[in-house]
Amino acid sequence: MAISVDPGTVVSKPPDAAPPVWTRRRREALAGYAFVAPDLIGLLIFVGLPMVLALGVSLFSVDGFGGYTFVGLDNFRQMAGDTQLWQSVKVTFTYMVTFVPIGFVVSLGLALLVRDHFPGVGLVRTMFFLPHVISLVVVGVVWQFLLVDKQGAVPALLRPFGLGEVSFLGNPALALGSLVAISIWFLMGYQMLILLGGLKDIPKEYEEAARVDGATAWQRFRHVIWPLLRPTSFFVLVNSTVGAVTGLQAFDLVYVLTKGGPAGSTSTVVFYIYQQAFTFNNYGYAAALTTAVVAFLVVATGLMFGATKGGRFDVG
Amino acid sequence: MSVRLRALAGYVLAAITVAPLVWLLVSVLKPADELFQVSVPSRLTLDNLLYVLTEVPIGRYMLNSAVVSVAVTVVALVLHSMAAYALARLRFPGRQVIFSVIVSTLLVSLPVILVPLFLVARQLGLLDTYAGLILPAIFHAFGIFLLRQYYLTIPRELEEAADLDGCGYFRRWWQVVVPLSRPILASLSVLFFLANWNAFLWPLTATRDPDLRMVQVGIATLQGQYGSAWNYVLAATVVAAVPTLIAFVLGQRRLVEAIKTSGLK
């Protein structure tokens, strides 16, 4: 193998030599840019540009053939009087405040349950995680099938309790609840795994010491496990909050399961934006809604970061 | 809770969790007219699966999904690994700013930027093309971030040794860093493959051409077309889930590791 000489590091230069044009530092910088460029450019085109574009397009009215008419802030004014939009904000908010805490408690419960060894614990963990492997489309189809009015497996199971005639997806009061429950079923195994990782990092000795001191199971959880699990819990909660507002389950599942119905009871904000753009061709209005959501996210994340002193994002 | 009690609770809850999926499998093997009967089927049949495999272009849908998923996974891993290596190891002006910009894109999920992304793709002529399905799916900060954290833990000495042997930056990355990061690359490849195989929203938005339908879009279309012919829709979901399950079984350990670390580091 031919050995090329790298000036500046390997070979010691005579002290009076002029610095070469290709200094080590310059070469390293150049390599750095070359390595980062493809990903950075891609992210700028397919994430950055759309964000900027949303802001621009939101000032226009766009027809289905791509004709743009400048309308100023009309799209934003339209939001105030859009009752369907506020309905979808309410749906998203209700979804968030039920799905996030219940999902967290369920996931944490499962993690504590399967933390220590018992025969078959690995298989049990896998079974909890299995729904998460399946696509949301399949999840939606399966649950729609299970919940079919009168005939589905769930109504059949509930019939002995006199609840067999309840319509889960046809009743506005129950459709959103079903969506929350299915989302939890889908996500709990994933959150359980993350929390399990956090639990494994807590030294057993701490709990043993508390046990020796006569702490009950609840006291051990409250005063030993819970404080030490806080960073992991924080991550899980932020993750599922962001997911509840803007995540795929707020679209895919809604699209397959209910199409936002009945009576808009499961129409999340992201589903509403999709409809505005691709059902009604209101790209300008959809872009304005996108801008509003991005602004909301930036503010909300800023607040969360401020409140937690930057979380613990970048350790490197 | 005693071990025995915990084990029992675990078994029962796990059984309840997977019951819907077991029910799906059993239903697909039932004759159509017994689909909604909650009883032992009178006979098991492959008719539903055979119908879907022969009468519905599910093979085409799965091929599209396979091409897109594999392409995205391979290209994304190469590009992310390069970027992560530079961000972890190479010094260049603006590195911190670039890293912050990349990480901040983690905030934005696809449903949020869907509409403007669609307009960008339309302008670039990417709608109804394989490139349109593949390119936007490649660029995601999650992989870059995770790989960078991993590369920070690789001892510098190994690279310095390569440097002394006269390796340039490209060969140091390809011949030292990439082989050392095989475990995490394997984890990410399972993760990326599953995410893309299961992708629905972008394929739904970016394609109208039935020949370009990816498998999840195909299922949703069937759901619309076949309405109450549940036996066929369910059979299609089972067929579509097979590759996911294979990827999961093959990569389970790696997947679990990736998920645990993504929550901690």
| C-alpha to C-alpha distance for A293 and A289, rounded to whole angstroms | 6
| C-alpha to C-alpha distance for A52 and A61, rounded to whole angstroms | 17
Q: What angle do CA B200, B204, B210 make, to 5 degrees?
A: 120
The lowest-confidence range among A48-52, A70-74, A78-82, B36-40 is: B36-40
> Considering the domain boundaries, does residue B164 fall inside one?
yes
> Considering the domain boundaries, does residue B254 fall inside one?
yes
Q: Does A182 touch chain B (CB under 8 A)?
A: no
- Asked whether the beta carbons of residue B107 and residue A142 sit closer than 8 angstroms, the reply is no
Percentage of residues in chain A having pLDDT higher than 70: 89
Q: Which candidate from A39, A128, A283 shows the least CB-CB separation from B17?
A: A128
**Per-residue pLDDT tens over the stretch B1-51:** 688 999 999 999 999 999 999 999 999 998 888 888 877 788 888 989 999
- Considering only CA atoms, which of B160, B136, B151 is closest in space to residue B82? B151
Which positions in chain A touch B14 (Cβ < 8 Å)? 123-124, 127-128
> Considering the domain boundaries, does residue B132 fall inside one?
yes
Which positions in chain B touch A114 (Cβ < 8 Å)? 10
Q: What angle do CA A293, A57, B103 make, to 5 degrees?
A: 50
- Asked whether the beta carbons of residue A313 and residue B103 sit closer than 8 angstroms, the reply is yes
- Considering only CA atoms, which of B214, B211, B218 is closest in space to residue B233? B218
- Asked whether the beta carbons of residue A133 and residue B245 sit closer than 8 angstroms, the reply is yes
Name the residue ranges covered by the structural domains of chain A: 93-267
- Asked whether the beta carbons of residue B244 and residue A10 sit closer than 8 angstroms, the reply is no
- Asked whether the beta carbons of residue A27 and residue B169 sit closer than 8 angstroms, the reply is yes
The structure tokens listed for B105 are 């894109």
Task: Determine the residue among A26, A35, A143, A238 to mutate to test chain B binding: the one whose Cβ has the most chain B Cβ atoms within 10 Å.
Answer: A35
Any residues with CB less than 8 A from the CB of A314 and at least 6 apart, and which?
A: B99, B103
- Asked whether the beta carbons of residue B11 and residue A113 sit closer than 8 angstroms, the reply is no
Residue A65 has pLDDT above 50, yes or no: yes
> Considering the domain boundaries, does residue B7 fall inside one?
no
Q: Which of residues 84-123 of B touch A (CB under 8 A)?
A: 85-88, 90-93, 95, 98-99, 101-103, 105, 107-120, 122
pTM to 2 decimal places:
0.89
| C-alpha to C-alpha distance for B105 and B115, rounded to whole angstroms | 17
- Asked whether the beta carbons of residue A135 and residue B244 sit closer than 8 angstroms, the reply is yes
> Considering the domain boundaries, does residue B21 fall inside one?
no
Q: Could you give the number of structural domains in chain B?
A: 1
| C-alpha to C-alpha distance for B147 and A125, rounded to whole angstroms | 26
> Considering the domain boundaries, does residue B35 fall inside one?
no
pLDDT band (50, 70, 90) for residue A14:
low
Domain harbouring B134, CATH code: 1.10.3720.10
Mean pLDDT of A120-130: 95
- Quick one: how far is CA B113 from the chain centroid? 20
In CATH, the architecture of A93-267 is: Orthogonal Bundle (1.10)
Which positions in chain A touch B83 (Cβ < 8 Å)? 35-36, 38-40
> Considering the domain boundaries, does residue B2 fall inside one?
no
**Is-cis flag, bond preceding A262, omega within 30?**
yes
Q: Which amino acid is at A175?
A: A
The structure tokens listed for A230 are 């806080």
Which positions in chain B touch A156 (Cβ < 8 Å)? 36, 38
> Considering the domain boundaries, does residue B39 fall inside one?
no
Residue A20 has pLDDT above 70, yes or no: no
Q: Which of residues 94-123 of A touch B (CB under 8 A)?
A: 110, 113-114, 116, 118-121, 123
Q: What angle do CA B142, B148, B149 make, to 5 degrees?
A: 95
Nearest chain A CA: its distance from B132 CA (Å): 11
Nearest chain B CA: its distance from A232 CA (Å): 6
Q: Does A49 touch chain B (CB under 8 A)?
A: yes
pLDDT of residue A122: 93
**Per-residue pLDDT tens over the stretch B62-91:** 999 999 999 999 999 999 999 999 999 999
Mean pLDDT of B235-252: 92
pLDDT band (50, 70, 90) for residue A64:
low
What's the alpha-carbon Rg for chain B, to the nearest Å?
Answer: 23
pLDDT of residue B24: 93
pLDDT band (50, 70, 90) for residue B206:
very high
Per the model's pLDDT, the better-predicted residue between A153 and B65 turns out to be B65
User: How does the average pLDDT of chain B come out, rounded?
Assistant: 91
Per the model's pLDDT, the better-predicted residue between B258 and A255 turns out to be A255
User: For A176, phi and psi rounded to 5 degrees?
Assistant: -70, -40
Domain span including residue B166: 45-262
| C-alpha to C-alpha distance for A232 and A111, rounded to whole angstroms | 12
